[in-house]
Copies of this chain bind each other. A is one copy, B any other.
Amino acid sequence: MSKELNLKTAAIEKISHLDYFNIAISVDCVIFGYDNKELKVLLIKSDLEEFAGLYSVLGDLVRPDEDLESASYRVLSERTGMEDVYLEQVHTFGGIGRHPSGRVITTAYYSLIDIKHHKFKLNHNELHWHSVNDIKKLAFDHKKILDKCLNRLREQVMEHPVVFNLLPEKFSLRELQDLYQAILDIDLDRRNFRKKIAIKDWLVDLNEMENDVPHRPGKLYALKKQHQRTSTNAVVMQ
């Protein structure tokens, strides 16, 4: 009773499946920044009437000739002018009602970028940084997407050196701790935090000190070269 061996070519298969080429796929990039001891996320005002007044994360449809990663890098660089930034895929959202234009499935990525980056032109498009903690509602299912990306970020932050794009090249341990506290939304013990970071061996001591701080200056550190994460040396993290 076994099925007959009935090979078909890909070309033939494609014809029989043409009906299915009726779903669009997009990428959405949850881009985190950090300023004033708060974790921020870059949002754009939705240009859909259905979501008038609401913000959404940055996304775009995937072009037929680009892969998912390229699409997410394109969104990132088109919107922020930044190249070569690490993006992490988080989850794909495929509910049927999630986009009013039709069937759009989206793959969510997160990324971390320096909020003070130069090429950045916030005024030209309705792009704004929002405090993650203040966000109650977004267009589409983007609140769910944001939450999932934030959870993933929190899971990874102590295991992998992912947060250093959010700091200047040289930073003190206090700045690093403030950043961790903003991301995790908890207080950390200073001595224990320093021990934990020291053990990871992520940092080089630059033998320099902070300037212009209204208190005793701290030592400056930088992320070791081998831990710098970019699109081109992306490390498999799990």
Check B107–A92 contact: CB distance below 8 A.
yes
Q: Which residues of B contact A78 (CB under 8 A)?
A: none
Chain A residues 75 to 112 lying within 8 A of chain B, measured CB to CB, are: 89, 91-96, 99-103, 105, 107
Interface membership of A134, Cβ < 8 A: no
Q: A102-B21, A124-B1 are in contact. Are A10 and B50 (CB under 8 A)?
A: yes
Within 8 A of B (CB), among A38-86: 47-50, 52, 61-69, 71
Identify which of A12-20, A183-191, A196-204, A206-214 touches chain B: A12-20
Interface residues of A in 18-48 (CB under 8 A from B): 19-25, 47-48
Asked if A125 CB lies within 8 Å of chain B CBs, one says: yes
- Residues on B with beta carbons closer than 8 Å to the beta carbon of A103: 64-65
- A102, B14: Cβ atoms closer than 8 Å: yes
Is A205 engaged at the interface, CB distance under 8 Å to the other chain?
A: no
Q: Which of A100-139 contact B (CB under 8 A)?
A: 100-103, 105, 107, 123-126
CA distance A22 to B107 in the complex (A): 17
Residues of B contacting A7 in the complex (Cβ-Cβ under 8 angstroms): 47-49, 52
Q: A14-B101, A89-B92 are in contact. Are A124 and B23 (CB under 8 A)?
A: no
CA distance A104 to B49 in the complex (A): 31
Indicate if the CB atoms of B89 and A91 lie closer than 8 Å. Answer: yes
A48 and B22 CA atoms in complex are apart in Å by 22
Question: What separation, in Å, do the CA atoms of A14 and B104 have in the docked complex?
Answer: 10
**Cross-chain contact of A100 among B6, B10, B123 (Cβ < 8 A):** B10
In contact, A101 and B13 (Cβ under 8 angstroms): yes
Determine whether the beta carbon of B94 is less than 8 Å from that of A17: no
Task: Pick the residue among B50, B89, B92, B99 that contacts A68 (CB under 8 A).
Answer: B92
Among B21, B66, B69, B96, the residue within 8 A (CB) of A66 is: B96
Docked CA distance A3–B1 (Å): 66
Which of A19, A47, A102 has the most chain B CB atoms inside 10 A of its CB?
A: A102
Q: Shortest CB–CB separation between residue A5 and chain B, in angstroms?
A: 9
Q: Which residues of A contact B (CB under 8 A)?
A: 1-3, 6-11, 13-14, 17, 19-25, 47-50, 52, 61-69, 71, 89, 91-96, 99-103, 105, 107, 123-126, 151-152, 155, 238
- 6 new A-B contacts, CB < 8 A, other than A7-B52, A68-B94, are A8-B48, A11-B101, A14-B101, A17-B101, A71-B94, A94-B107
